[in-house]
Amino acid sequence: MTGRKSGPLALGLAIGAVLAMAAPAYPAYGGPAAAEGKPGAAARAAAPLPGGLGPCVPGDCPPVWPEPNNMPPTGTDNAINVYAGGDFLVREGAAEAEGRVVVLGDFDMNRTRGGSVYNIGIVGVGSQVQPPLGSDFLTTGGDVSVTTGQRLLADGGVVRYAGTLTGTVTGTTTQDDDAADPYTALRAQLTSASKCYARVDGSPRTPTGTVTNLSYETQFVGDGTSMLQVFNVTGDLASTTGGAQSLSFSGIPAGATVLVNVFGADPVVNINSGVLAGLAKEKLLWNFPDAEEVSLFGSGQFQGSTLIAEPDSMATVQLPGVNGRFFTAGSITHSSSATGGGGQEFHSYPFTGDLPECNSVPVTGSVSVLKVDSESGAALAGAGFELWKESNGTEGLQTGGATPDTKVEDCTTGADGKCASTVGTGTYYWRETSAPAGHDLPENPVFGPLVLTPENASQGVTVRAENEPTEEPTGTVSVLKVDSETGAVLPGAVFELWKESNGQAGLQTTGTADTKVEECTTPADGSCEATGTAGSYYWRETSAPDGYELPADPVFGPLVLDPANGRPTATVTARNRKTAPVTGAVSVLKVDSESGDALAGAVFELWKETNGVAGLQTTGAAPDTKVEDCTTPANGICASTVEPGGYYWRETAAPAGHELPENPVFGPLVLTAENASQGVRVRAENEPTVVPPVTGTVRVIKTDSETGDPLPGATFSLWRETNGTPGLQTAGPGADTLVSAGCVTSATGQCGATVAPGSYYWQETAVPAGYDLPANPVSGPLVLTEENASQGVTVTAANRKTPEPPYTGGIKVEKKDGKSGRALRGAVFELWKETNGIRGLQQRGINPDVKARPGCATDREGVCAFDDLTEGSYYLVETAVPEGYVMPRNPVTGPIVISRTNEDYYVTSYLNNQRGEGGKGKGDGNGSPSKPTKPKLPAQPQDRPRA
């Protein structure tokens, strides 16, 4: 994928008003009011998804949306394409999300394969209907986190986030505490709509068609007439063994909306098909009303839009492409298979279907509490709260007595410090019942009243609850992950840290479980470490490093931590074994073509397909990989035990008394994990030799034209004279015959080939490093006869060395305040070159030096640079100083010598302090520091602040 970001939308009239106040820089699109001729009316369906979601929002909506491509953009769409009521996680090799993306929780990017970038908004491959430039490509209600060394690409758009941003993000980044407020009500609306589409009065909606899973394919057969086709799925969309299958639809009238309700707590979709004939993806909605876990796997493009109801759900998307809107009240993990692959993409396509009417959804909104540390303001996990609704008519919260208020639910704050509940309008209180670890309960644990009304339901109401830290000694508990054989530290192991809390020996993670503290992935040093209070802890490994197996017992502990009694640290070493590779036999059976008898003495090379080009390539810039050589024994079989992949056997020498096959390559033989135990084999036949032909060697010797030394590394093609025209002809219908290509001269400068008598030419196609191709790269003809075949014929071809290119270097200036060291912008320097042979710089007179470059002004980093300078001596002349500073007494610095024998590239640093000290360093041509330069730089001018 290759996507970037998008801008907000209007969720009905009330949300549109919020957008107009909070983010006027981009347009809202029509919700219910669109039917009255307001923006978006043309795209609105009669019964659309909640909040006006689904259709394209002008923008510049194209009449026809192209299939995924990498061509120039065909329009713009200001609608949300991906919505997550929870978090959005980028893992493994997932690549991009096209269109606008809204996440109420955190956006977390931590790829482990296939590259270091994730595109959002504008992508490399997709519909190419992009969000408007300058709009919000990504909006989050929490943090944006990008792992070190990776980049989130949002070029052309805005990343708007309510929490914090860590890591590298391109485009415009804007911190906005209210970033996700216009979209919070959507979460409950999507949940209600999904459940309404799936059931009527508690029973599944009446289907109009049938669903049949044939293992290799699931068939959806409609009634042929209904404009709303309803299908109910009660199992996985996968084969009977969980493998991939195709999907097919029939009996669907033109223009009909297709609603597929997929019931169950953990449905799996595993498909290998990409095109659904006769069905428009813009009219197809996959609805998951019950799922806590949704798994979208396979190798096909997933056509249509997706709706997931449960706020606590997790959708794991590993499909190559999702072609439609993707709306979930829960969270998304965009990933690829842990064993390989990558490039997974969300593609932007509208949903324009006409769904069942679900307008009787009650007014609901979010009532939330944010638990924070009273000193740092940091969010606190682990606070226990009760949510109560005012119901007894008495002011304040009453939890006991004859007429208490009504308890709604219990909640424990997560890592974001929040507890939130979607409820109907009314007055509510949050009551804290247990403080987070290391903190005390507030003196008054009741927070409220919070009054939720129809007017503020879309934004919700919230309260901030502070806790003071408990003075309690802490220590550290750690685990070190190592290779069980070598002891080398291993990054990439995932651990959970648990604290003993249920009074039962050992670790319990379900039922009456111990307390989970945090998760950690081992970095380069293989160590995970956490700070904790006194108690017993366990490290539990949940995912092994790449190429390693989980230990039989993945729990390490208990580790007893008691900082108050001389145990401030507790550590354990966890060892992993490497995963045993899957292997199998790849073999060839050599037989006589007439008798079928096995033949000994055939010489084979085994090659593995590695360059991605069909067929075997043994030469050129990117050949396949040679595995080994083998000569067939008496049973005629060569075999090799190898890992899964595609392989070729290439016969290089025939058995005695037999001829090589016309095509000596046998394969590909595809070894897989499934067939590895049986192995794969090919039969290779040889015809008996009738009369051995006369052959001889035709050689070329490549030499240096001046020294005569042999030259390795020249590439030659061998041609045979076959067209009767003197000289070599390599093209056209009457060309001579190419015998072999890609012969590279050896250490002795030789290429040779054994051929039948005839006239031959050697054509040089690539020269040795540092040499030029001869004006005539053809040597010959070399005439091989039966008389000279035993000695062969040889020709010498000489090459001249390539002239060495001129040397260039560069000078970089860094301007700083002499006292604070702060970079100074706006200093202007001219570069002069010493040309008149007189010591020092002469800018005037009858024979001045030459101005090499015009003025260069230092940028905000205090830097200007002069590149591509030829060898010689140079002077820097400061002609203008930064604002607020005065010109130094001597504005000239030099001479600065650029020489091939001195240093490649000088970096001169002007520090403007009283001592006149300058930075001394060498760069690599791009301005990055490296080793110190050899020459001393002259005293440097100093800028002083103007009095």
Q: How far is CA 263 from CA 196, 269, 272, 284, in A?
A: 13, 12, 21, 17
Mean pLDDT, residues 639-667 taken together: 95
The C-alpha atoms of residue 191 and residue 599 are separated, in whole angstroms, by 71
125, pLDDT greater than 90: yes
- Bridge partners (DSSP) of residue 98 are 121
8 A C-beta contact, residue 764 and residue 714: yes
What is residue 849's predicted lDDT score, i.e. its pLDDT?
Answer: 93
What average pLDDT does the segment 735-746 reach?
94
Residues 698 and 742: their CA atoms lie apart, in Å, by: 15
CA 574 from chain centre, in angstroms, equals 29
Q: Give the single-character DSSP code of 405.
A: -
d(CA 522, CA 528): 6
In DSSP terms, which residues pair with 368 in a beta bridge? 420, 462
Q: In terms of pLDDT, which residue wins out, 18 or 716?
A: 716
pLDDT at 51: 80
**What's residue 3's pLDDT?**
34
| pLDDT for position 640 | 95
Of 355, 330, 188, nearest to 261 (Cα)? 355
Close Cβ partners of 807 (under 8 Å, ≥ 6 residues apart):
870, 871, 900
* Residue 928 in this model has a pLDDT that exceeds 60: no
> Can you read off the two tokens belonging to residue 107?
């956006």
Q: Which domains does the chain have, with CATH numbers?
A: 12-185 (no CATH), 187-321 (no CATH), 364-467 (2.60.40.10), 474-576 (2.60.40.10), 584-610+624-686 (2.60.40.10), 696-728+735-799 (2.60.40.10), 808-945 (2.60.40.10)
Q: Angle CA(354)–CA(359)–CA(361) in degrees, nearest 5?
A: 130
Quote the mean pLDDT of the chain.
87
Give the pLDDT confidence of 170-227 residue by residue, as tens digits: 999 999 999 999 999 999 999 999 999 999 888 899 999 999 999 999 999 999 999 9
Percent of the chain with pLDDT over 70: 89
Burial string for 252-274 (b: 16+ CB within 10 Å, else e) reads: beeebbbbbbbbbeebbbbbebb
pLDDT at 152: 96
User: In terms of Cα–Cα distance, which of 734, 792, 804 is closest to 758?
Assistant: 792
CA 475 from chain centre, in angstroms, equals: 37
Looking at residue 614, the DSSP 8-state letter turns out to be: S
Q: Which of 12-26, 316-330, 640-654 has the lowest mean pLDDT?
A: 12-26
Say what the pLDDT of residue 560 is: 93
b/e code 398-422 from CB counts within 10 Å (16+ = b)? beeeeeebeebeebebbbbbbbbbb
Give the residue, 363 or 578, on which the prediction is more confident. 578
Q: What is the pLDDT of residue 4?
A: 30
Q: Please tell me the predicted confidence (pLDDT) of residue 912.
A: 52
Q: By mean pLDDT, which of 48-62, 290-304, 315-329, 476-490 is the weakest?
A: 48-62
pLDDT at 925: 30
For the cut 90, the answer to whether the pLDDT of residue 571 exceeds it is yes
Residue 916 has pLDDT above 80, yes or no: no
pLDDT at 11: 25
Does residue 24 register a pLDDT over 60? no
Tallying the residues shown for the chain, one arrives at 947
Q: What is the per-residue pLDDT for 18?
A: 26
Strands 364-373 and 418-424, by their bridges, are antiparallel
Complete edge-to-edge strand list for the sheet that includes strand 584-592:
637-642, 584-592, 680-686
Instruction: Summarize the confidence of residues 53-74 as an average pLDDT.
Output: 91
> 316-346 pLDDT, tens per residue?
999 999 999 999 999 999 999 877 788 999 9
Answer with the residue of higher pLDDT: 920 or 629.
629
User: Averaged over 602-608, what is the pLDDT?
Assistant: 97
Please give, one letter per residue, the 3-state secondary structure of 457-520.
CCCCEEEEEEECECCCCEEEEEEEEEECCCCCECCCCEEEEEECCCCCCCCCCCCCCCEEEEEE
Instruction: Give me the percent of the chain exceeding a pLDDT of 90.
Output: 74
* pTM over the 0.75 mark: no
CB 643: neighbour CB atoms within 10 A?
12
Question: What integer pLDDT is reported at residue 31 of this predicted model?
Answer: 29
Burial class (CB in 10 A: 0-12, 13-18, 19+), 683: exposed
Span between the terminal Cα atoms of the chain, in Å:
57
Average pLDDT over residues 882-909: 76
pLDDT at 16 over 80: no
pLDDT value for 25: 28
Contact 234, 263 (CB under 8 A): yes
Structure confidence at residue 478 (pLDDT): 96
Task: Identify the CA nearest to 83 among candidates 350, 330, 322, 303.
Answer: 330
* Residue 14: pLDDT over 60: no
pLDDT band of 902, cuts 50, 70, 90: low
Q: Is the pLDDT of residue 939 over 60?
A: no
| C-beta separation of 895 from 875 below 8 A | yes
